[in-house]
Each structure stands twice: as C-alpha cells, then as structure tokens.
Amino acid sequence: MYVCICRAIRERDVAAAVRAGARRPVDVFRACGQSPQCGGCAHEMRKHIDDTIACEQAAPQELRAAD
C-alpha cells in the first residue's frame, strides 16, 4: 500500500528506511531519494514508523521468550 502518493513511497519502503535508521518522515523521504511535497502523508507515515519500530523492538523479546 502507498503511504505517500505524491512520491510513490510504499509501506515496505517506510519499513526498510526505519530498519536503516529513519525515525522521522523526512528521514524516510531522504532514504527513498525523495523530498516531501504536500505533507498529507505525514501522519500516516509517522504511524508506520512507530509501528515498525515497535515490531523491531518486540521481535528480539519474542525470540528470547521462546528459548
């Protein structure tokens, strides 16, 4: 699914950028080689950033709990 229609940034692009260190929408745009345009996606992009960070932090704990 597209998160930013103007720049054709998808959920998977946001997730990859977060795994590479992005923590703000502007970081995601830079990681994708783009710049923000209208700003309409900022709220949704922040949600995807936060969700990806939460999943990344939870994954190691789930693995430890299974051991």
What gap in Å lies between CA 28 and CA 58, rounded to an integer?
Answer: 21
Rg of the chain's alpha carbons, rounded to an integer? 13
pLDDT at 60: 65
Average pLDDT over residues 46-64: 84
pLDDT at 35: 95
Domains and CATH numbers, the chain: 2-66 (1.10.10.1100)
Span 11-40, pLDDT tens digits: 999 999 999 999 999 999 999 999 999 999
Cα angle value 26/31/32 (rounded, 5°): 95
pLDDT at 57: 87
pTM reported for the whole predicted model: 0.84
